[in-house]
Amino acid sequence: MIRIMFVCHGNICRSPMAEFIMKKLVNDEGLSEQFLIRSSATSTEEIWHGQGNPVYPPAKAELKKHGISADGKYAVQLQASDYDKYDYLIGMDTMNIRNMKRILGADKEEKIYKMMTFAGRSDDVADPWYSGDFRTTYNDIDEACRGLLKYLKERNEI
């Protein structure tokens, strides 16, 4: 079982997009049973009295264009205990990585990654929060998810 946690600031745009794109890629290859895929936030901005907000409507709409549903997903915050529960903890940008380390502690097992490294890139996933450009975000995340799947195959993890 490969356990993946995608992480962003609010868990309503980028990391849920990554969660559901990765689930789709894995499902299309008949590999769903070998994976546990979740997403979470470094902040509590989208969580009120323990109840998380749903995926942001434009992010949901972008996923829907590609035949992907994000129904039933609500924002949750990353927990320190998640470090032992996941094999790959993947942040969308450099600030996410910094905040993840604050929550998870020192990355002793080197499980924390920045998303676009799986596409051979050192930049951040395009943040749609201010740009409103969800298409570029989708493309970045799709590229990285495909790269991650390839990486796992090359390492004989699946």
50: left (phi over 0), alpha (psi -120 to 50) or beta: left
For 75, list phi and psi in degrees, rounded to 5: -60, 135
List the one residue from 4, 5, 14, 26 that touches ligand 4NP (CB under 6 A): 14
List the one residue from 8, 89, 112, 115 that touches ligand 4NP (CB under 6 A): 8
> Residue 43's closest CA among 87, 91, 114?
91
The reply on whether position 11 binds ligand 4NP by CB under 6 A is yes
Helix (H) or strand (E) holding 22: helix 14-28
Residues contacting ligand 4NP: total by CB under 6 A: 10
CB of 25 vs ligand 4NP, minimal distance in Å: 19
The reply on whether position 18 binds ligand 4NP by CB under 6 A is no
For 112, list phi and psi in degrees, rounded to 5: -95, 130
Hey, which residues between 32 and 51 contact ligand 4NP (CB under 6 A)? 45-46
Residue numbers at the binding site for ligand 4NP (CB under 6 A) = 8-14, 45-46, 129
Active site positions, annotated:
8, 14, 127
